Structure 1
Amino acid sequence: MTVQQPLPTQARIDTVVIGTLLDLPYANAPTVTYPGCANSSGIVARNTALLSPGDIGCQVALMFEGGDPARPLVIGLLLGAPASPAPFASVRLDEQRLELSAEREIVLRCGKASITLTRAGKVIIQGVYLSSRSSGVNRIKGGSVQIN
């Protein structure tokens, strides 16, 4: 009869550990990594801190539920941690809305047509043929409106 040995477990972590925020697909489920993390692509953590996609790449303070390294808890974002976090882009989707976010600009392109949104607030629509149709009011408002 062969006795099966239990798999080795990672030692308890009972101190604050400095990790890195890798992703933020949902506000309550950030993906983090830390020195000695068993999963090189990061691990989903619980969260007590207010984080945003702009925080991706920044250092976070972590505790571990019950000292279990597989159950990280983000307790805060380190202030003054890397001055320039990695650029981010995010996509959020639910039944009602698709939201794309980027640091500098978003471009939707298909063939010779494109829509560009810039950080400065510009919306640039380009195409070979542009059509605007409305069953209600079709309003054009602006500081000034130029046609041709």
Structure 2
Amino acid sequence: MTKLLTSNEKTSNKLSLLDEIIERAKPQPLSGEPSMLYSIQLAKIISNNNEGVFIRFNDNEPPILALSLAPITESDIGKICAVQFINGNQNNPLIMGLIYSNNYLYMLSKQTINDVNISCTEQGQLHIQASDSITLQCGESSLTMTADGFIQIRALYIDNYALATNRIKGGSVQIN
């Protein structure tokens, strides 16, 4: 017969994740500051590594470890998140979600990643600029553009359709 364990009985010396969160979340008064914070605060995601997600409320404070309700990825670093505090304890932040706004989308409309400039316009245009080459690949198909003006299209099959005139121009054109 299976025995139901009561909350006073421990099955092992190891703490479960929930036990760790509850232990960490005990309210502790902070010197000179109110100990209970129930309002939502905004913070910036600073890093996400093996230790966990670190956030910062302002640039003058060191980053602090936070729990999150949703997965946080490397692409979320630098984004603003909504934070509440477990049991109102400022030392135990809980990320409720990421802030989404049109201003944030405007900030994303121009990005530089590893010397590659990516920009989006309101007219639905995407501009990608790289110093050496750009390759778009899907399965066996690829399109590569290089800085010296070379464009290479590789695929198993290439279909070329035009509703109007289909022109092929070049210094010399070789077919087959």
What TM-score comes out, normalization by structure 1 length? 0.48
Of structures 1 and 2, the one scoring higher in RCO (CA 8 A, sep 6+) is 1
- Return the index of the structure with the highest Cα Rg: 2
